[in-house]
């Protein structure tokens, strides 16, 4: 079977492919590189942006006590940072996150996740690196369009771990699944696009394309774009 994972799911996915290569036919990582390489590339910019990595990995029960003082504020602030300030979360999804995060057992489990990243996860990666073990299946990696820690390229990192690697950057934030879901569209759907601006207008009969490598992009012929004054800074609304 094929495995597609994001965050902890991706780390479980590549560990599954390494430990049980006969079971995994293909692996897709959404915005994740192996933890060993992640730690090796940490710099000041990464540390400031991914502050929760270092906070939640502290020994029990320091982070549990700190985030438990105001769980909803910590969660909302962190999700906004992950989404790069964009309003991408569906209200029902956001409420589900908040409801779960109110549970002390859930917050403890999340801390244990980050503790694993500095402990057993990193140790397992290092053991595989030392032994020369690599993923035997094809690997695809998708990442958001921004530099990775210390300027490293995700494809080059994954080529250390696998022989068959492909991927691309897409116009999205760290929360790829939410980016797609919030638009409420599906592959092949016919929509209209409302364009703001001095001239503005509506582009009708626009076909939505959704694939595993789709990005948040709008492709318009030059002549059509010029006719309504569309530029890279224009605001566009999807009308269904």
CB 32 within 8 A of CB 117: no
Nearest-5° angle of CA 210, CA 216, CA 160?
85
Secondary structure element (H or E) that encloses residue 28, with its range: strand 26-30
Which one of the listed residues 7, 76, 113, 196 is annotated catalytic? Answer: 7
**Total residues belonging to the chain:** 240
Which one of the listed residues 121, 125, 174, 179 is annotated catalytic? Answer: 174
CB 163 within 8 A of CB 53: no
Q: In angstroms, rounded to a whole number, what is the distance separating the alpha carbons of residues 27 and 47?
A: 28
CA distances from 226 to 6, 23, 43, 220 (A): 39, 52, 43, 10
Catalytic, 174? Answer yes
CB 72 within 8 A of CB 161: no
Single out the residue of 193, 156, 182, 163 nearest to residue 26, CA to CA. Answer: 163
Single out the residue of 71, 3, 1, 52 nearest to residue 174, CA to CA. Answer: 52
Q: Which two three-digit tokens encode residue 80? A: 């906004």
Residues annotated as catalytic are: 7, 174
């Amino acid at each position: 079977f094929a495995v597609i994972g994001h965050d902890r799911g991706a780390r479980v996915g590549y560990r599954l492919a390494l430990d049980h290569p006969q079971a995994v036919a293909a692996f897709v990582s959404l915005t994740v590189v192996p933890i060993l390489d992640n730690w090796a590339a940490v710099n000041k910019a990464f540390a400031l942006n991914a502050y929760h990595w270092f906070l939640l990995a502290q020994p029990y029960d320091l982070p549990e006590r700190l985030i438990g003082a105001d769980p909803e504020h910590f969660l909302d602030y962190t999700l906004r940072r992950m989404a790069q300030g964009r309003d991408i979360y569906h209200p029902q999804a956001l409420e589900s996150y908040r409801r779960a995060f109110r549970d002390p057992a859930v917050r403890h489990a999340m801390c244990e996740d980050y503790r694993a990243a500095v402990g057993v996860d990193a140790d397992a990666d290092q053991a595989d690196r030392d032994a020369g073990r690599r993923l035997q299946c094809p690997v695809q990696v998708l990442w958001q369009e921004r530099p990775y820690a210390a300027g490293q390229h995700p494809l080059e990192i994954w080529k250390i771990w696998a022989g068959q690697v492909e991927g691309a950057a897409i116009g999205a934030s760290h929360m790829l699944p939410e980016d797609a879901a919030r638009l409420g569209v599906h592959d092949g759907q016919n929509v209209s696009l409302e364009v703001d601006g001095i001239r503005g207008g509506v582009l009708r009969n626009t076909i939505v394309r959704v694939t595993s490598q789709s990005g948040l992009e709008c492709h318009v012929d030059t002549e059509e774009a010029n006719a309504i004054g569309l530029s890279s800074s224009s605001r566009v609304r999807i009308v269904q």
